[in-house]
Structure formats: structure tokens, C-alpha cells
Structure 1
Amino acid sequence: MPDNDTVTEGFTERFAAALDGYGERPCIEYDGRWYSGDEVMSYGAQIASVLHSAGVTGDAPVGLIVRNRLQHAAAIAGFLAAGRTVAMIYSFQSPDAIARDIEQLNLAAVIADPEDWTEPVVTGAARVGSAGVAISLSAPTVAGVVGLERCDTARRHAPSEPGVALKILTSGTTGPPKRQSIRFNVLERTVFSVTAGEKASGDAPPEFAYWQFGGIGVCQLIAGLYNGRRIAMLERFTVDGWVDAVRRHRVTRCGVQPAVIRMLLDADVPKEDLASLEFLISASGPLDPETRDEFEQQYGIPIRLAYGATEFAGSLCAWTPELLQQYGESKRNSVGRALPDTELRVVDPETGGERAVGEQGLLEAKVAPIGPDWIRTTDIASIDEDGFVTLHGRADGAINRGGFKVLPEAVRRVLITHPDVRDACVVGVPDARLGQVPFAAIEVSAGTAAPSDGELRELVRQSLPVYNVPVAFAAVEELPRNPALKVSLPAVAALYSGHTGD
């Protein structure tokens, strides 16, 4: 097995060569302007120079308070090309939360936009002796932060982590985001899983990068740069911005969150604006069959289901053109077969024993670049006789109501059958007698009145055992979502009005 230095050098050399290959050609489009490869590389070189002047050694991990902006993409590219570990810090937290994150990471340097260098953040960096670097598109583009011009070398900061490229964050759907270390050798599979091994021609549509760079969305950026693709970048998702990029660049395929598909339908986007799309890939959560059917019928654009996770830095399963031709219709609800470097199995959550073909259980994966061990996910799945994986929900969200297990997704699926319910989310909330009880927030369809609690209770009672009926409902115009467009379960739980029983 190659050592960490060899693996790191191999990836960084290839990545740096790809970055250098752009030269004066367009590399990244941001905010209506194309930036050349030379401009992107120059940005990374400026950051490296300021870090060196601040006394930060070349192998010291650094933090990035990350936003989907050109200067952040250039910083990430520069760090990867240099083989430096970068830890992502979410910018959408409060300044006090960012400061706590910085203190816990205890890094030699932190890089951020000027707007994120608030007083609490500067104070937090000063407490641990971190150097501060401000990056911007306006002059000065890269500069030391006043009071944080140098790293305090008398302090012991987080040590170098040979082989570790990125520390990215989960979306924080079920609680505080967790950081996952992604090694350089794993980034090789990241590129493969994003592109399915295909290398597009130079005149192909650009890689479309709009998922948040702090988490798994950074894979879009890395894969695009590694393969020398042009990259069209959005700071955040909006229907107008997304559709404009698809229309202008004639995008042929794109990964989207299920919420995006619903938003496109609700916005009644003209069919001709999406005419270039050959298919969409739905990932990061369950897509309702009704929404999928409605979209495919309205636009004639197939939706493929995909499955991956932050800890795997990409997909575990894929649909190849050959598989689609043979099984596309008969196994439409599957997320595909395991990728070549991946083994999958379904196990009993209690005993760990492998389940029989077609039976449901917890999905486990063994991914060669990550290691020889089976990694257990929190997803309930089944694998059929042809090796196709179907997902059935998440185990970690199960609500234990006095000994009865309530699966939130099963209750949600019933609630959204109501014509006036656009979407719903079901979470467990504390109960003094039963331990936990289900509570539901419903997103009311535009132009309709919210159904009564009694009406919703009866709807659930007709389809599921009585212990599945939520104890309370909250009607909202929009379910609270995080920047990854996933519904935030803690935010939904906070809507609970204080009911303590049936």
C-alpha cells in the first residue's frame, strides 16, 4: 500500500497540472463573469504568500469560513494543489458560533470574507493565536486581518494531518453539523463518482456547481477542476439563477436536491428553458414518487435516483447507460448498483447479521479507498437479486413512542397525500409519559387554507396504526431548510407548541 506522502503527491500533482492547464482559458463563471485559470491560480498564490508571511508553515491545516464565491473556490483549489489540509467552517452560523468553531479547531490560520471577520470571530481567532486572512473580489483581494497578521507560533496548534485533504461538514439535518475528514486518495473516487468516469470534451457544457462548498457540494468543484472542465458557479440556489444557468450553458445533466424539483414545478418554469437537460439526478434525500411523476410528465426529463453520503465523499451507487437501457423502467425506484470500488450489504440493526436478498435492514458499505472495514449508515435499504439498491428511509429518525416505533417518513408520506399539504416533516419531541411522541409541521399549498388538526389526524389514522398519529401539527408557509435545502429537524422540533400527550 502506498504511503500517505505518495498518495498526496500523486493527487496534488495531477490536480495542480489540471489547474495549470487552463491558462488564459475560462475556468470559473461567477456573478456574470468568467475568471481564467491564471486568475484562479493567482488568487491561490496570493493566499499562500500571505500565510507564509504570517508564519504559517506549509503543512499546517487552515480553516475556511466558506461561501460559494469565486475567491473561496480559488482558495480551495490552491490548498488542494499544494496538498494543504483545509477545514470547512460554515458561514451561515452566528458570529459567536463561528468563533466557538474556530477555538475548537485551534488552527494556525483562518481565511474568510471581510464580512465574516466580525468582532466575535476576530476575538475567537485571537484567543487561540490563529492568523487571519481576509479574501475579497475588491482590493485588497487578499490581506491579513488587523490584529491577526501573524500566527502565534508560541502556541501549539492543530498538527499537520498527512494524507487528509478536506474536513467537510454534514448538512446538519438532524443536529449540529459533523466534520468528516476526506483523504486525498478518496478524492480520486470523488471525481469518479461525480462524473461516472466520463471525461467531457472541451466544448461540453460546464460543470454546474451550486451545492454548498462547506459540505459534499465541494465535490462538484473538485471534479470539474480535476477534469479541466469549465465551471458555472452559483453562490446559492434560486430558481431564476439555476434556470438561467441551465438555459445559457445548455446544461445536459445536473444533480439536484428533491426540494429543487418541487420548486421548479411550483415556479412553472417554461418547458423550453429546460430543453437542454437530458436527465436530472435526485440526491441528498427521498424524492416523493408523485413529485417525480409530475416533473417527468410535465417536462419529459427523466429523473434518476442517486445515493451517497458525506463520509464517502461521493456516491456509493450509480446508473450506467447500459444499466438504464436494461433495467431503467423495471427498477425505476432504485438508486442503482454499487460503484466498482464499493461493496454493499444490508444487515439486521440489532445483530449485525446480513439480511437475505430483498429484505430491509441497515445499509453498510465497504469502500476500497477508504479502508477494509464495513461502514454502517443510518439508511434503511434492500438489495434485490440483481444487486440494485432501494432506499426505504432513515433509521436514526425513528421515534420510540412508549415502545412503539414510528417512522417519520411513513407518516410524512400519508400527510402529503392531502391536496392542501405541499410538504411535511415529522419529528420526535419529548414526552414525560412516553419518552417521545411524533409532531408534524406541514407546508400549506399556495392559495389554500391549512387543514384542521382533526382532519390530518384522521388521514393518518386511516392509513397507519394509531400510535403513528402526531400529537400536534404546525402549519407553516415554508418548512425551515438549511443551506443544503434539506428540512432542518431541530428547527421543526422548535415549532412544537408544548403538547405533552394525546
Structure 2
Amino acid sequence: MHDSFTGQFSAGLASYGSRPCIEFEGRWYTGDEITAYAEALSSALKDSGVDDRASVGLVVRNRLQHAAAIIGFLAAGRPVSMIYSFQSPDAIARDIETLQLSAVIADREDWTDEVIAAAKRAGSAGVAISLTAPTVTPVVGLHRRDSSRRHAQAEPGVALHILTSGTTGPPKRQAIKASVLERTVFSVTSGEAAPSDAPPEFAYWQFGGIGVCQLVAGIHNGRRIVMLERFSVDGWVDVVRRHHITRSGVQPAVIRMLLDADVPAGHLRSLEFLISASGPLDPQTRDEFERRYAIPIRLAYGATEFAGSLCAWTPEMLQEFGDAKRNSVGRALPDVRLRVVDPDSGAELPPGQQGLLEAMVAPISSDWIRTTDFASIDDDGFVTLHGRADGAINRGGFKVLPETVRDVLVQHPSVRDACVVGVPDARLGQVPFAAVEVVPGSSPPSEDELKAIVRQRLPVYNVPVSFALVDELPRNPALKVSLPAVAALYRAGGQSA
């Protein structure tokens, strides 16, 4: 018996038939083609001795064949664990051995010698997928699951294991139940049923993590989907222009990239607003974008463990509070309760005070779940974020919030972006270090200038001990700055100012 989400999702897929379902690399694929691809994959797994409901692993890329695999698994009620493809072959191999799954599916190019050897050690069947013939084929030497091996059992109700972006360290795998995916659809669409002639869903965030939400919501609601394998300014703008996209979720880095590329305003004419999520957006960049394009940017907040958003702005909220609470991420969604607590005692704090944000999400748990974010909630229920708790730097007993220091550094006219991390110090435990991305063509700021601007606006313990000037900050595929890579600049001596 299908649970309600699986049945609804399967019905959503069936509703396309011969109509366009997904556009990839300039070609529309119909619902029938997506279904046929998923059925071919299901048949290959059955031939490999893999049970219909057994968990499988997917070395995931944002390609049509991977989207079809995810869609097919969800429609059939088969759990799938995401494995990031952008890792080294050795790292992918370690994931496969750790997961111990009945089968692993990967793009033809990702079946390296290391990955094949790992699947053999795990006794997993292997299936290669591609857009060119043969599209679905068993991997040589991995034709069948080793039935003598004990493989991971499907967890009751779990549909997906998705990954965090790995900003602060190795990505963490998060179990998402099918019942929770119902709220994913709601958080993506705000509960709105789009008309049949609405622009397509725009999916370009990594499917291995929270980006899969766009794919899930689109198919569930029978909407057309346009997907990109990876973000580029030209590719993103092309989709917005051709399909008259009216709204899109973007990472803060995307807003900066659009500005730096000096995209003509006419190319973005269809956009009613952008939703900035997955990290802090500095006010200067937001103001510059809104002035140049007259397109509002709304701030949003969600997390991988909640499979979607916790807060949102409604049109009614914007009309009444939009200007006054511009820096808020909105109010809690209907199925969410939020509170702010003291990090040490756990006691709930009154409105306006900063502390750790906790959430109670009805479809997930009746317990309070602590996030890693500092926040405050005002008397009207609007949430404002103040930085990540797991990135806080303890400098000899003084707490330094990296986002606060970054917000000061980006006010320097020669600084396009910055990232502040804690690095070890023998005397104080930790001290702040900053990597600074310099505006192209500008005069690089001196270390004294950068220290002075922080010292003028914040207590002295916030001043970084040193700086590295870089052309581009190191980013992961989710376009978030990689904190371990920034810390490595300090250990390497960086390109000091």
C-alpha cells in the first residue's frame, strides 16, 4: 500500500504522459520518456537481484538521467541515498563501503576503478546510467548483488537520504521521510497550485542536497521543470529569458555574480522577485541589485534536516511589514513553531534577544530541534538571523561571530566578498582569520586598512589576526564558501596583504 506522498507523487508523474516534463540541455523530455527511463532502471535492479524496496545509492549529478532515477525511485517507494559526485573517486569509494547498500547507480564516467573496487568489497550491484545508448546497463563485474552479504535495510518511512553542502566540514547525510516530503512541496510552492500555463520550476541547485526539493515539488504538482547541470550566469539568464521565470531561489553568490556580469536589465524583466537563501546576503549587495534591476530580494531560511523552509514572507506580510522588517527571513510556516533559547541553559529567551534558534516541525517531530543558527524573534513573530553558532570563534573567552566581521569587511570599496574563520592559537585557543575577495581592477586593500575598518565598528577582539587576498573565494558546488578551504589559506600562509 502506497503512503499518501508516494501515491500523490506517482500520480503527478503519470499526469504528464506525452506532455513535456523536464527540459535539459535545450531538449524537452516527456513524462513518458522519464517513466520509461525509470522503468528501465527498475528492471536492471531486479535483474541484479535487488529487492523492489531495497535502499540504493545514487552518485548524483544534475543530469536528466539522474533526475529520472530520483523520480522513478520516489514514485515506486524505493529509498535512495545520495552520494556526491564532485568528490574524488577515493571519497566516493569510501561512501559506498560505509553505506553497504544493495546497489549503487552512477553515471558511466563515475564508475572508476576505485569505485568499482569499493562496490565489489561491499557486495553491491552496480548500474551505469547515461543519456547515450546504452542508457542503463550493468557494470562489468557488478552484475548481481552478493546475496551472501548483509546489506543496509530500508528505514521505515524514509524516502531519501540527502546531504548537507559541506560548508563547515564533511557533508552530513540526513534521512527524510516520505511524509516530510509533503511539507517540502508546501514550502517550495507556499501551498499555491500554479496554473497550467505557469512558468516551469527552475532546478539548478545540487540534487544531492536541498536542491532536490525543486524536483520533488515540480513532479508532485505536475509542473514542467527546467534544469541546469550547474550554475552559470549565461545559463541561468537564458532560462529566465526563454521561460519568463517570475521567481527563483538563489544563493547570495549568484546575486553578486549577476551584478559583476552586468546582465542587461531587460534580460531579467520577467522576474517579480528573487529569494535569497543558504547563507548571509550583505545589505550593500542587496541594495545594489535592487537599485539596478528594480527586482525585490526576499530573505528565506530553511535547512537540510527540515527538507525545506522554516520561514516565509506572504504578500500580506510584505504589504504590512516589508519595509520595517526588511532584514527578516519572515515568519514561521503554518506547520512550524520557533523559539530562541540561551545556548547554555536552554531557557527560552524573550522577544528581541539573540540566542540559538529551535524549531518544532509537526511532520518531523513533536520535539524541539536545535539548529546551528543564532537568531532573534521580535514581538510580531518575525525571525532575524545573526550568524551560525557552529562557526562562532572563542577568542580567549570572547565570542566572535564570523558573519558580523564579514559584514564589516565587505563595506570596504575594494572588497567584493569575505569569509572569516577560526584558526588555532596556542595562547587564546582560537583567533579569527579572514580571506578577502578583491574587486577586479581595484587597488587591493592593505592589512592595516582592513584591521582599521573592523576596529572602528566592532570590539577589538573581532579584528582578524591576518588576511589573505584572493581573486575568488573557494566555493563548493552549492556555491557556498568552503570554510576548511579558507582555513587552509591560513595554514599555507595565504597571499597576505
Q: If the length of structure 1 is used for normalisation, what is the TM-score?
A: 0.97
Equivalent position of 2:3 in the other structure: 9
Question: Is the counterpart of residue 96 in structure 1 residue 77 in structure 2?
Answer: no
Deviations 1:25-80 (A, max 9, x none): 00000001000000000000000000000000011100000000000000000000
Deviations 1:376-433 (A, max 9, x none): 0011111111111111111111111111111111111111111111100000111122
Q: Give the partner amino acid of 2:215.
A: L
Equivalent position of 2:127 in the other structure: 133
Question: Is the counterpart of residue 489 in structure 1 residue 486 in structure 2?
Answer: no
2:392 to 398, 405, 408: 398
Matches of 1:382 and 1:279, distance apart in 2: 25
1:232 to partner: Cα distance:
0.4
> Alignment RMSD, CA only?
0.9
Matches of 1:96 and 1:18, distance apart in 2: 38
Matches of 1:432 and 1:148, distance apart in 2: 51
Equivalent position of 1:477 in the other structure: 471
Matches of 2:41 and 2:394, distance apart in 1: 50
Question: Is the counterpart of residue 199 in structure 1 residue 205 in structure 2?
Answer: no
Q: Give the partner amino acid of 1:363.
A: L
Equivalent position of 1:235 in the other structure: 229
2:30 to 28, 36, 40: 36
2:176 to 182, 192, 199: 182
Equivalent position of 2:426 in the other structure: 432
Matches of 1:285 and 1:190, distance apart in 2: 19
Equivalent position of 2:211 in the other structure: 217
2:306 to 286, 302, 312: 312
Deviations 1:141-162 (A, max 9, x none): 0000000010001000001212
2:316 alignment partner, SS class: helix
Deviations 1:181-238 (A, max 9, x none): 0000000000000000011111110000000000000000000000000000000000
1:12 alignment partner, SS class: helix
Equivalent position of 1:167 in the other structure: 161
Equivalent position of 1:322 in the other structure: 316
Question: Is the counterpart of residue 290 in structure 1 residue 284 in structure 2?
Answer: yes
1:20 to 9, 14, 19: 14
- Comparing 321-330 and 158-167, the one that deviates more: 321-330
1:449 to partner: Cα distance:
2.9
- Comparing 167-176 and 377-386, the one that deviates more: 377-386
Matches of 2:36 and 2:117, distance apart in 1: 30
1:337 to partner: Cα distance:
0.8
Conserved 8 A contact 2:284-2:411: no
Matches of 1:327 and 1:277, distance apart in 2: 22
1:341 to 335, 342, 358: 335
1:425 alignment partner, SS class: strand
2:248 to 223, 243, 254: 254
Q: Give the partner amino acid of 2:237.
A: V
2:337 alignment partner, SS class: strand
Matches of 1:453 and 1:157, distance apart in 2: 55
Matches of 2:366 and 2:127, distance apart in 1: 39
1:316 alignment partner, SS class: strand
Question: Is the counterpart of residue 444 in structure 1 residue 467 in structure 2?
Answer: no
Question: Is the counterpart of residue 299 in structure 1 residue 293 in structure 2?
Answer: yes
Q: Give the partner amino acid of 1:307.
A: Y
Give the 5 Å matches for 1:46-61: 46-61=40-55
Deviations 1:293-342 (A, max 9, x none): 11111100011111000000000011111111111112111111111101
User: Runs of 5+ in structure 1 lacking a partner?
Assistant: 1-5
Conserved 8 A contact 2:405-2:462: yes
Equivalent position of 1:423 in the other structure: 417
1:375 to 348, 369, 373: 369
Q: Give the partner amino acid of 1:207.
A: E
Equivalent position of 1:143 in the other structure: 137
Equivalent position of 1:3 in the other structure: none
Conserved 8 A contact 2:61-2:229: yes
1:494 alignment partner, SS class: helix
Q: Give the partner amino acid of 1:251.
A: I
Matches of 1:61 and 1:190, distance apart in 2: 21
1:497 to partner: Cα distance:
4.1
Matches of 1:423 and 1:325, distance apart in 2: 32
The aligned length equals: 493
Matches of 1:418 and 1:336, distance apart in 2: 29
Matches of 1:86 and 1:186, distance apart in 2: 15
Equivalent position of 2:264 in the other structure: 270
Q: Give the partner amino acid of 2:96.
A: I
Equivalent position of 1:362 in the other structure: 356
Matches of 1:250 and 1:273, distance apart in 2: 10
1:498 to partner: Cα distance:
6.0
Q: If the length of structure 2 is used for normalisation, what is the TM-score?
A: 0.98
Percent pairwise identity: 75
1:101 alignment partner, SS class: helix
2:390 alignment partner, SS class: coil
- Comparing 432-441 and 144-153, the one that deviates more: 432-441
